[in-house]
Amino acid sequence: MDKIKNNIVGAWKSVCLDLEKKLPRHAIHAWFDPITVVGFQKKSFVLEVPNQFSLEWIESHYKDEITLSIETLFDKQIKYRLLVAKEKDTSSNVRVLTEPHIRPRVKRFNNLNSKYTFGNFIVGSNNEFAKTAAESVSNNPGQQNFNPLIIYGGVGLGKTHLMHAIGNNSLKKNINLNIVNITSEQFTLDFVNSLRKNKTIEFAQNYRSSDILLIDDIQFFRGKEQTQEQFFHTFNVLYQSGKQIVLTADKFPGEMKGLQSRLLSRFQSGLSVDVQPPNFEVRVAILLEKAEQNGLTLDYSIIEFIARHIKNNIRELEGTIIRLLAKSSLLNIEINNQLVTEVVKERVGGRIGNEISIENIVKKVSEMSSVTEDDIVGKSRKMEIAEARQVSMFLCRDIMGTSLNNIGMFFGGRDHTTVMHALKTITEKQSTNDRMKRMISSIRRELGFSFL
């Protein structure tokens, strides 16, 4: 015990080193590296984690491993306790506290997501104009030509990200700005509540005191006449006093149905910019960035594979990375080809699986090796035939995760030990033999699987 007390940080470090032997690298990176040791009390390590989510994740996934490592290294009586780190005061709060004459902001309005910045927004031809306009607005809110700024486009393409980035960046420049950021649904709800409680004046004041009003997804105002009426007045008050309004929508404002025409004509006085689905290179860049943010190092070939299959939606690209991380943590395995295939398949509704079958693999191997398909699934032990068969078996397992028994059955009713031998042989040949390596990677490419 004294040993621990004398050097708590070192003691905890030795626990982490022990955990590194048992857990995948990315799990350590994602969940253990951010832990701070804050003390040792009542025979327990007191550890701080960044947020509630980490706390729950660690407790539900790694409790046994941590306990075991501590027991092995120290003593059965030693435990650990996790705490969520308190959020640091932001400088804005400090200012409000120390300078009472500054108009205090209504907290609920300040719900900008600090992760959405211009710095981590990846730019391609699909969103360049939108980003430039957004940045310009945040540097100089209220310029007439850019008021209102309307960012429109499909789901998951970065509209909300850009809108929050405007808020975050403007605050960086001027901390006293009153930024009101809300979804159109919240706005509606707020309005309805204010009607119920006879507080429409307060409602109006809250919104009309903003320096920048950010409203997300205004398509939800559709058909809500009274809310639109309120919004129209708010809009006019702000616009006339040179305050910036930023809106996002799923369509070009001119094509929006169910919104009053006087609102639509107001929208036209500003600037509408669109975000489009990203092209291949932008998707790769986004995946690299998101993997890095999540502490994952993925082979370029895996990134490319994901980018090739998930095309329309950046949220999906991000979701794939998170899902990979979650699954590999959950199953306690390193990220491998099979896991990536599985996760991508879930995302695209199994389309990959449908394109690939054992027959397809055999056909491709036959084309590449000049051994006939019949020979590949037949009995012959001739060297080149046996090798083509082994390559096919290997690819079935590696791409589709087919069970050893099923592979054996398909390839001439062989048993699973034969299949295991084949997998081992090809794995070895791949690392020692360039011809084999090239052949496997070109078959993969032809099948749409460009993993190395």
**Residues binding Mg ion (CB under 5 A):** 159-160
Residue 195 φ then ψ, to 5°: -65, -45
Among 26, 105, 159, 283, the residue binding ligand ADP under the rule CB under 6 A is 159
Q: Distance between CA atoms of 410 and 92, rounded to whole angstroms?
A: 67
Count the neighbouring beta carbons within 10 Å of the beta carbon of residue 290: 21
CB nearer to ligand ADP: pick between 122 and 246: 122
Query: Is residue 286 near ligand ADP by the rule CB under 6 A?
Result: yes
Q: Residue 183 Cβ, how far from Mg ion at the closest point, in Å?
A: 8
Residue 142 falls in which region: left (phi positive, over 0), alpha (psi -120 to 50) or beta: left
From 49, 69, 80, 158, residue interacting with ligand ADP (rule: CB under 6 A): 158
CA distance 290 to 156: 14
Rounded to the nearest 5°, which phi and psi values hold at 66?
-65, -50
Task: Say which DSSP state 128 is in.
Answer: H
Choosing from 61, 199, 311, 315, the residue that interacts with ligand ADP (CB under 6 A) is: 315
Q: Percent helix, strand and coil across the chain, each rounded to 5?
A: 60, 10, 30
d(CA 331, CA 321): 15
| Near ligand ADP in 32-91, by CB under 6 A | none
Return all residues near 262 (Cβ < 8 A) that are at least 6 apart.
232
User: From the list ligand ADP, Mg ion, none, which binds 189 (C-beta under 5 to 8 Å, kind-based)?
Assistant: none
Q: Are strands 212-216 and 271-275 parallel, antiparallel or unpaired?
A: unpaired
| Residue 311 interacts with, from Mg ion, ligand ADP, none (CB under 5-8 Å by kind) | none
The residue number whose beta carbon is nearest to ligand ADP equals 158
The answer to whether residue 407 forms part of the interface with ligand ADP (CB under 6 A) is no
User: C-beta of 185: minimal distance to Mg ion in Å?
Assistant: 11
H/E segment holding residue 245: strand 244-249
Pick from 228, 158, 148: which is nearest to 188 by CA? 228
Q: Give the Cα separation of 270 and 272 in Å (integer).
A: 7
Cβ-based neighbours of 102, under 8 Å, separated by 6 or more: 95, 96, 176
Paired tokens of 285: 């860049």
Q: Does 133 bind ligand ADP (CB under 6 A)?
A: no
271-275 and 244-249: which strand pairing?
unpaired
Q: Shortest Cβ distance from residue 307 to ligand ADP (Å)?
A: 13
Q: Which residue number, 16 or 285, has a Cβ lying nearer to ligand ADP? A: 285
Q: Which is nearer to Mg ion, 11 or 179 (CB)?
A: 179
Partner touching 121 among Mg ion, ligand ADP, none, CB below 5 to 8 Å by kind = ligand ADP
User: How many angstroms separate the CA atoms of 141 and 148, rounded?
Assistant: 10
Number of shown-chain residues binding ligand ADP (CB under 6 A): 16
Question: Residue 345 burial by CB count (10 A; 0-12/13-18/19+): exposed, middle or buried?
Answer: middle
- 86-125 residues near ligand ADP, rule: CB under 6 A: 116, 120-122
Q: How far is the CB of 155 from Mg ion (least distance, A)?
A: 8
Shortest separation between residue 398's beta carbon and ligand ADP, angstroms: 31
Residue 161 in contact with ligand ADP, rule: CB under 6 A: yes
Range in contact with ligand ADP (rule: CB under 6 A) among 92-100, 298-306, 314-322, 437-445: 314-322
Contacting residue, 15, 27, 157, 419, with ligand ADP by CB under 6 A: 157
Q: Considering the complex, what minimum distance in angstroms separates the CB of residue 218 from ligand ADP?
A: 12
In this complex, which beta carbon is closest to Mg ion, that of residue 218 or of residue 371? 218
Identify the CA nearest to 212 among candidates 121, 267, 139: 139
In this structure, are residues 240 and 114 in contact, taking their beta carbons and an 8 Å threshold? Answer: no
Minimum CB distance to ligand ADP smaller for 131 or for 397: 131
> Residue 186 gets which letter from DSSP?
H
Chain centroid to Cα 224, Å, comes to 33
Q: SS3 for 222? A: coil
Nearest-approach distance from CB 208 to Mg ion, in angstroms = 24
Residue 314 engages ligand ADP in binding (rule: CB under 6 A):
yes
Interface with ligand ADP (CB under 6 A), residue from 160, 170, 369, 430: 160
Site string for ligand ADP, 410-429 (x = CB under 6 A): --------------------
Piece of 56-64, 98-106, 154-162, 174-182 that binds ligand ADP (CB under 6 A) = 154-162
Q: Does 170 bind ligand ADP (CB under 6 A)?
A: no
310 binds ligand ADP (CB under 6 A): no
Interaction partner, residue 138 (Mg ion, ligand ADP, none; CB < 5-8 Å by kind): none
Identify the helix (H) or strand (E) that includes residue 238: helix 225-240
Give the binding site for ligand ADP (CB under 6 A).
116, 120-122, 127, 155-161, 286, 314-315, 318
